[in-house]
Amino acid sequence: MSDWRWGCFLYGILAVLIADEPAIQTANPPDSPVPGTRWALILSGIPGDEQHAALFQQTATAWEKWLTTDLQFESSHVLRLPGSASPTEKPAPLTAEVIRNTLADLSTKLGERDALWVFLLGHGNYDGKHAWFHVEGRDPSQADLGRWLSNIRCREQVLWLTQANSGWFVKPLSQPGRIVVAATAADDESNETEFPEALTSVTRLPVEKLDADADGKVSVAEFFIAVSAAVLERFAADNRFPTEHAQLDDNGDGLGTEVLALKETLGQGKKVDDSAEPESDGKPKPKQADGELARQTFLPFRTPNER
């Protein structure tokens, strides 16, 4: 396909994602209970070179500022590992042990009504059997993170996995009541991802731009759709073939849904079917398609006077 035709194809997909009509069913979902305390954890893996060290530092700083300025996360409850660079002191490196201990400590602090958002930023690979997140020393696998997060019991859990090969992490991290977003599918998507920078760009958009159904709130589903559109924009800008296909899983089945299918599902208003009967082979039908929990989980924006 020629560059011109490829560019037209990408912009066609973008037109679907950012069309003026509401992307999500306009009926107001039931409001979720306001969480007690909101916690966030930003994990930046090893950069590999000075260019990525600067990029990861810049990205993590932007996310931290967004969480504490625009969203209702108190600065003391936003944990950034490693910490921000200091002119006089280099922060301790991120290791598998540090991640494990931090999550273990959080599991003792988080109550049932609390919220936890986790961001992974860095490099990752898949060796045919295991996926890895690159840190100092031994890399944690998707199974490691699944175990370390298994004791987190708070009501709202949103995981943002922005590294290459992050799609392989979805299944072991998936559980009912948890939203897992991955930059890639569980496939051969090993290139450095555009997702972190796309996410950063979307954090700068006004609420009105993100609020697709005009209900005065921004759901995680709306935010995910906006970030996915921004990813495609970055590929379309120089006629590159998209090498990542972001996924969202929030029904606990461990299978992520790509943005176009998610948008279609939400537009049709597919909800929980509590009366679902087992299939003829005895296997239960899935209770709901991906996106319902994300549609009812909202970004806790501060009012303009609070910022």
pLDDT reported for residue 90? 78
Quick: pLDDT tens for 157-197: 999 999 999 999 999 999 999 999 999 999 999 999 999 99
Confirm whether 232 is domain-assigned: yes
| pLDDT at position 84 | 77
pTM of the model: 0.86
Please give the average per-residue pLDDT across 199-216, as a whole number.
Answer: 96
Owner of token pair 């049932």: 112
Lowest pLDDT segment from 19-23, 250-254, 298-302: 19-23
Within a domain: 186? yes
Q: Is residue 209 part of a domain?
A: yes
Predicted pLDDT at 19: 55
In a domain? residue 223 = yes
Instruction: Report the pLDDT value the prediction gives residue 269, as an integer from 0 to 100.
Output: 56
pLDDT band at 25 (very low <50, low <70, confident <90, very high): very low
**Per-residue confidence (pLDDT) for residue 63, from 0 to 100:** 98
pLDDT tens digits along 43-95? 999 999 999 999 999 999 999 999 999 999 999 999 999 987 666 677 889 99
Contact between residue 238 and residue 2 where contact means Cβ atoms under 8 Å apart: no
- Of residues 58 and 9, the one with the higher pLDDT is 58
pLDDT: which is higher, 29 or 269: 269
292 is a domain residue? no
Answer yes or no: is pLDDT of 272 > 50: no
Count of structural domains, the chain: 1
Q: What is the pLDDT of residue 276?
A: 46
Task: Summarize the confidence of residues 215-236 as an average pLDDT.
Answer: 97
Question: Is the pLDDT assigned to residue 14 strictly greater than 90?
Answer: no
* pLDDT greater than 50 at residue 21: no
β 115-121/156-161 pair status: parallel
Name the residue range of residue 71's domain: 3-20+40-271
Mean pLDDT, the chain, rounded, equals 87
Q: At 224, which CATH number?
A: 3.40.50
Whether 287 is covered by a domain: the verdict is: no
Residue with tokens 């970030």: 227
Interval 212-236 mean pLDDT: 96
Q: Specify if 302 maps to a domain.
A: no
Q: What's the mean pLDDT in 201-230?
A: 96
Q: Secondary structure of the chain in the HEC alphabet?
A: CCHHHHHHHHHHHHHHHCCCCCCCCCCCCCCCCCCCCEEEEEEECCCCCHHHHHHHHHHHHHHHHHHHHHECCCHHHEEEECCCCCCCCCCCCCEHHHHHHHHHHHHHHCCCCCEEEEEEECCEEECCCCEEECCECCCCEHHHHHHHHCCCCCCEEEEEECCCCHHHHHHHHCCCCEEEEECCCCCCCCCCCCHHHHHHHHHCCCHHHHCCCCCCCCEHHHHHHHHHHHHHHHHHCCCCCCCCCCEEECCCCCCCEEHHHHHHHHHHCCCCCCCCCCCCCCCCCCCCCCCHHHHCCECCECCHHHC
Quick one: pLDDT at residue 83? Answer: 87
At residue 35, the pLDDT reads 65
pLDDT at 68: 98
> For the residues 203-208, what does the mean pLDDT come to?
96
34, part of any domain = no
Round to whole Å and give the CA distance between 190 and 198.
Answer: 17
